[in-house]
Amino acid sequence: MEPAIEAVNLLDLNLAQLEAFVESLGEKRFRARQLMRWIHLYGQDDFAAMSDLARSLREKLAGRAVIAPPRLLDTQASEDGTRKWVLEVGAGNAIETVFIPEGDRGTLCVSSQVGCALACTFCSTGHQGFNRNLTTAEIIGQLWWANRALGRDPKGERIISNVVMMGMGEPLANFECVDAALDIMLDDFGYGLSRRRVTLSTSGIVPALDRLRDRHPVALAVSLHAPNDALRDVIVPINRKYPLAELLAACRRYLEAAPRDFVTFEYVMLDGVNDSTAQAHELLELVAGTPCKFNLIPFNPFPGSQYRRSRPDAIARFRDVLMQAGYVVTVRRTRGDDIDAACGQLAGQVQDRSRRAERLQREGLQ
């Protein structure tokens, strides 16, 4: 008895891989473009419904392939229009994906890992520990699900106009799968997003940042959160491996290929920790020579957190120092906090292989 052939999840494949797959079935390469449109443009997961494919090809696909996004466990809607989907990714794990409507755009916040290994101290995901990287299908499946759920506006345009890799996990720690997912997002036969409309947020894995510049230089946001190495070593521990001087140099290299001529530096505002006007001036010295904008993020509390949100007057003073130096500064409006969908609150369900949550509880830090 011959062993069963394992079905290929087509959400894992970019166009080049899909072309190779259909050729392996004895079909012409152009069929991959048709198939990609059905999967990503129309959100179709039933081969029988793909009407412009030959019946013989549909039958081959039914026997050799699947379109399998993560299973939907729950969906929640905030009073401000934010929506959150909880998706099962096996072995008792779940991830979270968030849609944020704002004016003439809709932004989807996509996760890249089950938990996060970087252990940033202000982040709920970091406190949950780490289980594994997501596959390409699990990353792109979040966009696939959200597009199906949200549909299109009255003009026939997709509701999701922007994607930010700012959900659970550090995208550059899962480079290969994130890179493949970006390929599908940017492909005209996939989601057709421009590089300006896709933003990747990183805590600063310098070698991977250089690789991203060469492969898919989308818009860049960097989780800075401190004006010096001593403080950032505590708040963002990856800084001990890639300190600020190396990170800022990598940002400048990245801008040579980026679709925007600036980096967005994200800076979570922690009361009494990183929010003084003296630290704002120190931050200005740090970024001198790096074209940038600042996004100040009021801290969003979560159970077991050791921090408090900076007071509004402290945030305003910090902002004013930066603005008076000529920088564009935004203060992120908190969205979806009534459904734990705000920045830093995504937790999902993580079977923690790193045992970080257990260790924090033992040390009385959670």
What is the tens place of the pLDDT at every residue in 332-362?
876 555 545 454 444 567 787 766 555 555 5
Residues of the chain with CATH 3.20.20.70: 71-362
pLDDT at residue 366 is higher than 50: no
- Residue range 71-362, CATH number: 3.20.20.70
Residue from 106, 161, 98 nearest 125 by CA: 98
DSSP state at residue 14? -
Say if residue 47's pLDDT is above 80.
yes
> DSSP label at 39?
I
Phi, psi of 348 (to 5 degrees): 60, -140
Exactly one of 123, 251, 292, 343 is catalytic; name it. 343
Model pLDDT for residues 281-310, shown as the tens digit of each residue = 999 999 999 999 999 999 988 877 889 999
Percent of the chain with pLDDT over 70: 91
DSSP-derived 3-state class of residue 156:
coil
134: buried, middle or exposed (CB in 10 Å: 19+, 13-18, 0-12)? buried
Mean pLDDT of the chain: 90
What does the pLDDT read at residue 79?
Answer: 86
Quote the pLDDT of residue 363.
Answer: 52
pLDDT at 303: 78
Q: Residue 100 pLDDT more than 50?
A: yes
Percent of the chain residues topping a pLDDT of 90: 75
Q: What is the pLDDT of residues 172-183, one digit of tens each?
A: 999 999 999 999
Mean pLDDT of all residues in 222-250: 97
More confident residue, 93 or 305: 93
Check residue 358 and give its pLDDT. 59
For residue 55, name the pLDDT band (cuts at 50, 70, 90).
very high
Domain with CATH 1.10.150.530 in the chain: 8-66
Q: What is the mean pLDDT of residues 120-127?
A: 82
Task: Tell me whether residue 157 is one of the annotated catalytic residues.
Answer: no
pLDDT at 2: 47
CATH of domain 8-66: 1.10.150.530
Catalytic residue among 96, 138, 170, 266: 96
* Distance from C-alpha of 127 to C-alpha of 301, rounded to nearest angstrom: 12
Contact 347, 341 (CB under 8 A): no
The verdict on whether 343 is a catalytic residue reads yes
Least confident stretch, 15-19, 100-104, 222-226, 282-286: 100-104
Query: What is the C-alpha to C-alpha distance for residues 6 and 48, in angstroms, rounded to an integer?
Result: 20
Band of pLDDT at residue 254, cut at 50, 70 and 90: very high
pLDDT of residue 365: 45
